[in-house]
Amino acid sequence: MNREWKSLKRMALLSGVFLLGACAIKQYGDGTPREEPQVFQGEGTVSKTEPNALRFTLRADRLYRFDCTPVGMLGCKAQLRDGVTLEPIGAPWSSGTQVQHLTFFWKQATAGDVVLDIESASEQQPGGVFTYELRETQDDAGDALDQAVLQPVTDQQTSFDGFLEHAEDVDRWRFDVPANHTLAVGCTGPTDSVAPAFELIRPEGTSLTADRAAWFQSLGIRFLAAKTTGGDAIDLRVRVSGVYEANSVPYTCTVQDVGVDDFGDTPSEATVVTVPAQLSVHFNYSSDVDVLAVDLAEGHAYQLLTVSAQGNPPFYIGTTVLNAQDTTRWPELVSNDQGATFTAPTTGRYFLALERAWDGGIWKWEVPKTFTYKITDVTP
């Protein structure tokens, strides 16, 4: 009995050693523990004659984000310097006086000290107090095909925030959109004068929209939009515009799946309508084309008319008429609220390509998307 007890005791001790060994292997077998990201926070004071010099010891090959919030002074201005020579590294960053908070990023190539000189962004109010935070961070989205960050999109408008960390930064966001649905996206900066350039592209790089945010906003249309025919992904590429200069600037993008296109874009996708007809036409994006198919009689005159628009003139539905073989076109008829008349040269099928048109007059900020369009036989 005593021998059995001693054998059991030895087995238990050996089992304990094995278990401890396994724990030791699990704890120390992963190599050097990962470093926690560096975070520095504090408060400083800027005098009327001298900036506040903040010194930090940083790690190599890291992306750092610095945030400065003024308290009692107009904006923050910061100059990054070498910690040994005190030579400036790049141009200074300034929030200006319109955007009080300053955020900027830089890539620290080598380990060592850096100095940040902080002063007011306003010469009229040079002194004051500020709070700051410096932290290690990562780029929110990359530009390569495999670096795009997937964002959700629904039939309701949703928003997300991004950062262009430096003048060469490009962010790429991806959206999965069902077949024949239209994705609408609008991106804005912190002020009306500071907005990023953005475009919609296919993942392989083919542009689907104009890459000019300023042009887009000047037309009063808040969103770029593109339709996916096969249910493929659509990428949003955001990059620095000229007004960004040296600043790191935040942006906000609003996205929405605006649904299925009401009419096809080509004659092969045309919707057949019978004359007389009155129908609602909705343009989901600036280059949207809706194509109708109609059967017309030789020598008959047909009035093409914009009955009403969601808003006021000078916007209307412009009409381009094509014959069945697409060998003859009657382009850009002014089928506004006065109407345009088209006389069919032969009996047969014709296609009406409808587009939103503008007669050059003054309009309010919103560009109408929905119109009522009417086709009538007005032959005497």
Model confidence at 211: pLDDT above 90: no
Nearest to 274 by CA among 290, 250, 254, 297: 297
pLDDT band for position 11 (cuts 50, 70, 90) = very low
- Which residues have a Cβ under 8 Å from the Cβ of 47 and sit 6 or more positions away? 126, 127
Closest CA relative to residue 149, chosen from 140, 160, 136, 137: 140
Q: What tokens appear for 230 in the block?
A: 């096969």
pLDDT at 123: 82
Question: Pairing mode, if any, of strands 170-176 and 149-150?
Answer: parallel
Q: State the average pLDDT over residues 212-232.
A: 61
Measure the CA–CA gap between 110 and 93, rounded to whole angstroms.
Answer: 21
By C-alpha distance, which of 114, 134, 103 is closest to 41?
Answer: 134
Those residues whose C-beta lies under 8 Å from the C-beta of residue 365, and which sit 6 or more positions away, are 220
User: What mean pLDDT is reported for the chain?
Assistant: 81
- Please report the pLDDT score of residue 309 as a whole number: 63
Which are the contacts of 302, defined by CB distance < 8 A and separation ≥ 6?
Answer: 275, 296, 341, 342, 343, 344, 375, 376, 377, 378
For residue 24, is pLDDT > 70? no
Q: How many separate helices (H) and strands (E) can be counted in the chain?
A: 2, 25
Q: Output the DSSP codes for 148-192.
A: PEE----SS-EEEEEEE-STT-EEEEEEE--TTEEEEEEEE-SBT
Mean pLDDT along residues 161-172:
85
Of 55-59, 71-75, 295-299, 363-367, least confident by mean pLDDT is: 363-367
Give the span between the Cα atoms of 373 and 376, in whole angstroms.
10
Tokens, residue 169:
């930064």
- For residue 112, list its beta bridge partners: 58
| pTM listed for this prediction | 0.65
The model's confidence at residue 39, banded by pLDDT at 50, 70 and 90, is: very high
Domains and CATH numbers, the chain: 39-137 (2.60.120.380), 145-260 (2.60.120.380), 267-377 (2.60.120.380)
CA 246, CA 90: separation in Å to the nearest integer? 9
Lowest average pLDDT, out of 72-76, 189-193, 245-249, 282-286, goes to 245-249
Identify the H or E element spanning 237.
strand 233-239
Banded pLDDT at 169 (limits 50, 70, 90): confident
Name the nearest CA neighbour of 345 among 323, 363, 376: 323
Write the pLDDT tens digit of every residue in 83-126.
999 999 988 888 877 767 888 888 899 999 999 999 998 888 77
Other Cβ atoms closer than 10 A to 67: 15
Residue whose pair of structure tokens reads 């005791």 in the numeric block: 9
Tell me the Ramachandran region of residue 339: left when phi exceeds 0, alpha when psi lies from -120 to 50, beta otherwise: left
Structure tokens at 77: 């201005």
Which has the minimum average pLDDT: 55-69, 116-130, 305-319? 305-319
Distance CA 170, CA 139 (A): 10
Tokens of 211: 């890459």
Structural contact between residues 174 and 151, judged by C-beta atoms closer than 8 angstroms: yes
pLDDT of residue 354: 95
pLDDT band for position 78 (cuts 50, 70, 90): very high
State how far the Cα of 354 lies from the Cα of 263, in Å rounded to an integer: 10
Q: In what order do the strands lie in the sheet with 290-296?
A: 271-272, 290-296, 348-358, 315-323, 329-333
Which tops the pLDDT comparison, 302 or 21? Answer: 302
Give residue 362's pLDDT: 60
| pLDDT band (50, 70, 90) for residue 242 | low
